[in-house]
Structure 1
Amino acid sequence: MHIHKIAAFTKDGRGGNPAGVVLAAKLPLPAEMQSIAATVGYSETAFAAPTGQGSWTLRYYSPETEVPFCGHATIALGAVLCETHGPGRYRLSLANADIEVESGMQEGVWWSALRSPPTRSAPADPALLAKAFEIFGYSDTDLDPDIPACEANGGTNHLIIALRSRAALTRMHYDLARGRVFMRDHAIGTVAFVFRESERVFHARNAFAIGGVLEDPATGAAAAALAGMLRDLGVLHDGEIVIHQGEDMGQPCRIEASFTNEAGSPVQVRGLSNKIPE
């Protein structure tokens, strides 16, 4: 079984978030997929099997658990499908949703654009936010007054907290074990901290303790959730946002998310990818 290793959401040919991609005639058993993901060691590995012309069944595993949706692994999958089956649009059936990824080549570089599941968001529960402050060392004074903290979903649940300064984002830290318990108890995929540099440019850091990873350098699922949330709040109308992530880790990533004004509609998340040398 060949494991493709792809860096998704690269920025200027550098960085990116590593993902494993396995194409198989049929999906391995869950225990085998979990074992492979743990061996690969990336934040997620995607497993895909064909179900028909241009259609695939898809599952995602972190080193410690199955996850319902992973944006960067879907972007990586798009690159692998482009390489093995040619540029095009591919329909993907997840455990709880149907999405698609389109992929191609541009000046010798893979690009992929996924369509997320439908999005939704709601203001964060004050008790949940207080617990997050305790774990991550923030307070009300660190918050961006124009973007309320929300629980948002674009395929996976995220707690999204907007901070008022890049310096506040830089100092994000927490204990992995405490973060894992917090995310597990509240069914949170990541805690995403964001800073709004300008109207449509954001910086992000995403804690992914529930997957056994301190920080994710690029999180496409959270990007979809953020874009849907900004639309729900009326902060932005249809268009595109750019998210820079991974810079504080030395793994710069660039994520583009575009959306319409239709409430709850899917978000398109786009990025470039590179093959990771063996």
Structure 2
Amino acid sequence: MTFTDVLRYTAFSSDPEGGNPAGVVLDATALDAAAMLRIAADLGYSETAFLTPRPDGGDGPGGRGFGVRYFSPKAEVPFCGHATVAAAIAVAERTGPGDLVFVTSVGEVPVTVARTADGRLRATLTSVPPKVEDIDPADLAEALAALDWAAADLDPALPPRIAFAGARHLVLGAGTRARLADLAYDFGRLEALMLRLDLTTLQLVHRVGATDFDVRDPFPVGGVVEDPATGAAAAAFGAYARELGLVDADADSVLTLRQGVDMGRPGVLTVELRAGDPRIRVSGEGTAIPTT
């Protein structure tokens, strides 16, 4: 195996059959954008991460550094959380746990990889500064129409917003778990709206406890119907939770997001918010996917 080979990892699960699969290329120096897109399309995972030596020529003060680009089967995306976790764990398996810095198109993303008590690797990424904005009522109506949701299907305690923590996501709260489970949408119509609004996924959430949420993420702009575990959306949702007062902005909070259950690929994303720090931390385990 060489560093230009495409590795296969799952993120947000210690089970290769769970979480979200991602491709990882540890040294993409010789690849241009067209080659990266072709590799991502051939692999067929929702995202592939392509690493290169750090642009400033070495390790940064926050840890070992890499430039990174992310490609879905259809296009380059600015940031991908699950591919970040997968890539960080792939690096740590070869060079040991510790601190990394990924230089993305939206800024530097520190990542720490540590071993759990049972010896598994767990990665924690720290987002770029997030933001939350309103959605135009006409755009919300179009999103609901594409999903075949009625306005009454929404949870009034989780008002629709567009949230960003490296990529833009439309957050919609499902009033019932049954509404979240019944996901059958107009692929082309939703894709057109998302392209117009520069959205990466929709973050569909159902609150099952004070800090526990079930989530699903349609991803037609990436060429797949649904993303099994979405770290960038989890970070964006952390910003949303703070902005909307779902957590105390003056205290440390931890949210648990469960995703992929409805797809048969369950994963767990831990979202940490720290008082006085606007950035969001997203953690999860990961593991290599065996190849035949």
TM over 0.5: yes
Gap regions ≥5 residues in structure 2: none
Distance 1:11 1:246, change over 3 A: farther
What residue is the counterpart of 1:83 in the other structure?
A: 93
What residue is the counterpart of 1:139 in the other structure?
A: 150
RMSD: 1.4
What is the Cα deviation at residue 128 of structure 1?
A: 1.0
Checking the alignment, whether the CA contact within 8 Å between 2:207 and 2:214 is kept in structure 1 is: yes
What is the Cα deviation at residue 42 of structure 1?
A: 0.4
Deviation per CA, 1:188-227, whole angstroms, max 9, x where unpaired?
1101110000010000010000010100010000000001
Separation of aligned partners in 1, 2:182 and 2:241: 24
Instruction: Please show how residues 259-278 of structure 1 align to structure 2 within 5 Å.
Output: 259-262=273-276, 265-278=278-291
Pairing 1:10–2:23 present: no
Separation of aligned partners in 2, 1:38 and 1:232: 36
Instruction: Please show how residues 194-213 of structure 1 align to structure 2 within 5 Å.
Output: 194-213=205-224
Separation of aligned partners in 2, 1:261 and 1:231: 10
Separation of aligned partners in 1, 2:52 and 2:45: 20
What residue is the counterpart of 1:28 in the other structure?
A: 31
Gap regions ≥5 residues in structure 1: none
Q: Which amino acid aligns with 1:17?
A: N
Checking the alignment, whether the CA contact within 8 Å between 1:158 and 1:222 is kept in structure 2 is: yes
Q: Which of 191, 194, 203 is the equivalent residue of 1:183?
A: 194
Separation of aligned partners in 1, 2:150 and 2:139: 13
Separation of aligned partners in 2, 1:129 and 1:261: 31
Pairing 1:109–2:120 present: yes
Q: Which amino acid aligns with 1:257?
A: V
Instruction: Please show how residues 235-274 of structure 1 align to structure 2 within 5 Å.
Output: 235-237=246-248, 238-262=252-276, 265-274=278-287
Deviation per CA, 1:92-122, whole angstroms, max 9, x where unpaired?
1111211111113322322111011111102
Higher mean C-alpha deviation, range 137-146 or range 99-108: 99-108
What is the Cα deviation at residue 61 of structure 1?
A: 0.3
What residue is the counterpart of 1:38 in the other structure?
A: 41
What is the Cα deviation at residue 145 of structure 1?
A: 1.3
Question: Which SS does the other structure have where 1:48 is aligned?
Answer: strand
Checking the alignment, whether the CA contact within 8 Å between 1:227 and 1:259 is kept in structure 2 is: yes
Separation of aligned partners in 2, 1:11 and 1:142: 34
Q: Percent identity?
A: 38
Separation of aligned partners in 2, 1:22 and 1:4: 6
Separation of aligned partners in 1, 2:284 and 2:16: 11
What is the Cα deviation at residue 143 of structure 1?
A: 1.2
